[in-house]
Structure 1
Amino acid sequence: MTTTMGAKGQVVVPKAIRDEVGLQPGDPIEFELRDGEVVLSRGSREMRPLGGRYADTDLLTGLMEDHAREVAEDLANDRR
């Protein structure tokens, strides 16, 4: 599949490919150079520790739980 790069270097990953590998908005994407080619792969979804004043709180855990709940609700609504 072919797509075009925009003026800011942005490209759209075709929907068929996003669906095949399960990419969702907000998922990290890793870029790698291999023998002169650019290879994209899904990045790690591991949680990174928060810094600053929120480092010793459960804020990230709460945000991740809220996000997972919203995604599940969206999926349930899409299936109706």
Structure 2
Amino acid sequence: MPIIGGSIVAVSDSQIASEALEAIGQLYGVEREAAELDIDARQRLREAKARPILERLHAWLLQRRTQVPNGSGIARAIDY
């Protein structure tokens, strides 16, 4: 569980899922923006906008994984 201001704070599975879906929504936004571009411009856009989102999401998932019980549904989803 995360510690905030010296207090242990419970993080629910639905809160974790909601935070992950927010990042995934941002990735979909990049793809909507890229839809009208040619392949080279699309690649540059993804590199500039999607890669940082993916890197933050990956780091966030690794950190969150330490906060959920092994074998739980959210742990299995993160491990996937």
* TM-score exceeds 0.5: no
More helix by share: 2
Which protein has the bigger strand share? 1
Q: Could you tell me the TM-score, scaled by structure 2's length?
A: 0.35
Q: Quick check: which has more Rg, 1 or 2?
A: 1
**Could you say which structure has the greater relative contact order, defined with CA pairs below 8 angstroms and 6 or more residues apart?**
2
